[in-house]
Structure 1
Amino acid sequence: MDGNRLEIGDVAPDFELPDADGNIVRLKDLGRVLIYVYPAAMTPGCTTETCDFNAAAPDFDTAGMRIVGLSPDSPEKLAKFRDKYGIEFPLLSDESKETLTAYGAFGEKKNYGKTVMGVIRSTFVVEEDGTLSFARYNVRAKGHVAMVAGLLDVDLSDTAAGE
């Protein structure tokens, strides 16, 4: 079930994906970036996680990391999600699931005891040289931002993320 999971030190798979406005975003143009993968915009867990990352974005920025969300949602759905919740960082669309698969974030997973194919909630940090310094799979939405911040030594003193 682990498929092609990435590990720290691996070269992050390159991508060119549309954001919520249809603009192409390239991994190589992002610098040091935290990419979090979520299954579907507008669902309770994904909304909680995205809003927590949005609240914590200034703290991650201070720590030298941009945040980018990645899901298989269409750019149109992502635009509605962004606008409804005031998300201030890019939300990227991977409708083909090619990038999700390359990151090991799409594949077999357990859902209510059954094995299904789907998006595996994951988080990665890609350094400026293109290598991974952080890779976590099967994370929980609630409290995830605070956990990641703690592991990456990001001070969330100014936000309520993960509370």
Structure 2
Amino acid sequence: MPKLEPGQPAPAWTLPDAQGRQVSLSDFAGRKLIIYVYPAAVTPGCTTQACDFRDNEAVLAQQGYAVVGVSPDGPEKLAAFAEQESLPFPLLSDPDKEMLTAYGAYGEKMNYGKKVMGVIRSTFVVDEQGVLELAKYNVKAKGHVASLAKQLGVELPG
């Protein structure tokens, strides 16, 4: 499973959002984009992470960053998750795991001491030209947004 590195072009993708509309990486051309990958909607860690991005989305947007979340969940589950947690950014569905695999965010990982195949919680930052600025793998759900903001030089309130 290849891991992406900063400086590489971000692999292109087109995925359905929670409403079934097609969203592409190219839709964000000319803007900075944070893509966060999470294993499953409506689970404790993923909810913590999504709400952390939600609570800091306005600050990130002021600094020019759009945010999208990607998981293998179907659009219906994503729609319920977004509504339940009042998430202001698109959640994208990759049930075939093609985008996740292209980004190195699906593959062998350790889960409770066992090797399993699954989604690797990851975050990617793509610059205005579509080049990876950051590629972080095996990130923690809690405190990740603060850590990411620090790396990006974005000051979060609180």
Normalised-by-shorter TM-score class: over 0.9
How far apart, in 2, do the equivalents of 1:10 and 1:49 lie? Answer: 26
Partner amino acid, structure 1, of 2:20: G
Question: What are structure 1's unaligned runs of at least 5 residues?
Answer: none
- Provide the aligned C-alpha RMSD in A: 0.7
How far apart, in 1, do the equivalents of 2:154 and 2:124 lie? Answer: 15
SS, match of residue 100 in structure 1: helix
Name the counterpart of 2:110.
Answer: 110
Match of 1:10 among 4, 8, 17: 8
Question: What are structure 2's unaligned runs of at least 5 residues?
Answer: none
Name the counterpart of 2:80.
Answer: 80
How far apart, in 1, do the equivalents of 2:20 and 2:45 lie? Answer: 25
Name the counterpart of 2:45.
Answer: 45
Per-residue Cα deviation, 1:33-55 (whole angstroms, up to 9, x for no partner): 00000000000000000000001
Aligned identity (percent) is: 58
How far apart, in 2, do the equivalents of 1:102 and 1:146 lie? Answer: 26
Name the counterpart of 2:141.
Answer: 141
How far apart, in 2, do the equivalents of 1:121 and 1:54 lie? Answer: 17
SS, match of residue 70 in structure 1: strand
TM-score using structure 2 length = 0.97
Name the counterpart of 1:26.
Answer: 24
Structure 1 stretches of 4+ with a deviation exceeding 2 A read: none
**Cα distance, 1:154 vs. partner?**
1.1
Give the aligned length.
Answer: 156
Partner amino acid, structure 1, of 2:12: D
Name the counterpart of 1:54.
Answer: 54
TM-score using structure 1 length = 0.94
